[in-house]
A and B are shown apart, each in its own frame.
Chain A
Amino acid sequence: MLSGSLLRLACFALVAATASCGRNDARTIVFAASSLTEAFEELAREFESSAAGGRIELHFAGTPTLVLQLREGAPGAVLASADAAQMQRAAALGLLGGDAEVFGRNRLVIAVAGGNPEGVEGPDDLARPGLRVALCGPDVPAGSYAREALTRAGVEPAPVSDEPSVRSLVGKIALGELDAGIVYRTDVAAHAGRVEAIEFEAADRVRPAYTIAPLTARAEGPATAGASGARTPDRTGALFVDFVLSSEGREILERHGFEAP
């Protein structure tokens, strides 16, 4: 009963989906939190051109999504997490092939549209009626950090949305759909001009830490991953972890707004 054009579209989709299934087992894929996007793209470029380096592929998503994908058998060599709790979950699932180390810290800021048209000065303003404020959902690291900071500041705003990631939150501020939100300082840098960061004192007491760890050679899904313990980690992956932790890696991270651990 559906029209022919619809059926043809469905066929195209199927062909496109199967064409991209080709799988190369030699790949070294780094699973990284989405707030690390620009920094890790540069880290990977520098690593690939260094003497020790091999080819790196980057995969970005919210940390809980990364852990879920790894749990279901996604082939990752390294996990860079924005959230200590999620790294512990990965460890409990037997996914890690080495110790997790803190490689950088971020800082929460209040993000507002460029020029700060609503005159937001601090957390107190976020509870102002009529102001469209959103946070990341409580399950997203940035969302739980933001709620912690607001509790410490004694402010209880009524967000109009629990956004799924800092990137979508800051994007909606850049578009002018939201008046304010709490994001990482590094996310504002990506929207320079259209979004402004306002530092606030309570952020000093919540300092999001980023951890990195090599993964076991191939996570085989939930059944075997828990039982088999640590296996040999991917060599290129281990070298990349060392590079991120090196002084050269730290320099790149600092250039993107991350603080030293």
Chain B
Amino acid sequence: MDVRRPLALPLLVPALVAALFLAAPLVGLALRAPWSTVLERATSDPLLAALRLSLVTSTWSAALAFVLGVPLAAWLASGRSPARTLVRILVTLPLVLPPVVAGVALLLAFGRAGLLGGSIELLFGAALPFTTLGVVVAQTYVALPFLVLAAETGLRGVDRNVQDAARTLGAGPWRVFRTVTLPLARPALGAGLLVAWARALGEFGATITFAGSLEGTTRTLPLAVYAALEREPDAAIALSLVLVAVSALVLFLLRRRWFPGSTGQDAAPEGGAR
């Protein structure tokens, strides 16, 4: 059932401007794209290597952000305290930190000569910078805040009474979280996971600073675009289109699952975040 509600005029105009503002750069890319050679460039070895590396590392980064981020979000959502406020600021800071600065900060912490560099080298047998694992670390750092903030909102939105009911029926905190809280917060967690993945996929500054740029090892798609921009801008545009197409495809395929509100009422599970 399609319920239409007219949008107030003061909302309609800025909404239209926003949509056009977001669309214009994509249209610009599409108009300047060397369409006759896009396919050829999109299947070249360096591009496929970059694409594969990007998909693998951003998936690992999103997974890592999920495994670490959801528990942190659960703690943040579980009450109010000055400690939580401090941690929330800490979580939000990577969002405002310029990615290049984030990359330098990562070097100072996890680099070979960094704060924890020695322990990491003992643990993994090698330093993180200039390795594929380093790419995952840089991407996780910038993606984690997106996941934590989305997950916290979702977890806070879960009805307290339902959780209390489960508890009075004898379920322990871990069981309540696993069987009641988590399923009810699924749409928010899914959205957070998707945004974290997309942020990791597009990550540039922290990656090139922390992990460097070497084909097949650390040169993800955004880094390949930047390298190509120096030599042949047309190739960079073609690569960018591949990046946009891949992300758009994934967002489209997952639309029902992660953005239930956008495709009609039928797909929306009960109890999502408000």
Contact = CB atoms under 8 A, between A and B. Distances in A.
- Chain B interface size range: 35 or more
Contact of B188 (A1, A5, A65, A68): A1
Contacts of B230: 62, 64-65, 68, 137, 139-140, 164
Interface residues of B, dominant DSSP? helix
A172 B209 CA distance: 9
Interface string A151-181: 0000000011111100010001001110000
A78 B95 CA distance: 36
Given A137-B230, A161-B218, A164-B226, A2 B150 contact: yes
B146 A6 contact: yes
Contacts of B203: none
Nearest to B190: A1
Contacts of A163: 212-213
B233 interface: yes
A132 interface: yes
A5 B156 CA distance: 14
Interface residues of A, number: 28
A68 B233 contact: yes
B158 to A, nearest CB: 14
Contacts of B112: 132, 176-177
B107 interface: yes
B195 interface: yes
Interface in B196-214: 208-209, 211-214
Interface in B223-274: 226-227, 229-231, 233, 259, 261, 272-273
B140 interface: no
Given A5-B92, A175-B107, A134 B212 contact: yes
B113 interface: yes
A139 B224 CA distance: 12
A116 B166 CA distance: 65
B150 A175 contact: no
B130 interface: yes
Contact of B212 (A6, A68, A161): A161
A159 B150 contact: no
Interface string A47-75: 00000000000000010110010010000
A247 interface: no
Nearest to B213: A162
B153 interface: yes
B111 interface: yes
B197 to A, nearest CB: 14
A102 B233 CA distance: 27
Interface in B113-136: 113, 127, 129-130
B69 interface: no
A137 to B, nearest CB: 6
Interface in B168-226: 187-188, 191, 195, 208-209, 211-215, 218-219, 226
Contacts of B154: 1
13 contacts: A1-B191, A1-B261, A2-B150, A2-B153, A6-B146, A9-B95, A9-B96, A65-B229, A161-B214, A162-B214, A163-B213, A176-B112, A177-B127
Interface of B: 92, 95-96, 104, 107-108, 111-113, 127, 129-130, 146, 149-150, 152-154, 187-188, 191, 195, 208-209, 211-215, 218-219, 226-227, 229-231, 233, 259, 261, 272-273
Given A64-B230, A160-B214, 20 more contacts: A1-B154, A1-B259, A1-B272, A2-B146, A2-B150, A5-B92, A64-B229, A65-B229, A68-B229, A160-B212, A161-B218, A162-B213, A163-B212, A164-B208, A164-B213, A164-B227, A164-B230, A168-B208, A175-B113, A177-B113
Interface of A: 1-6, 9, 62, 64-65, 68, 71, 132, 134, 137, 139-140, 159-164, 168, 172, 175-177
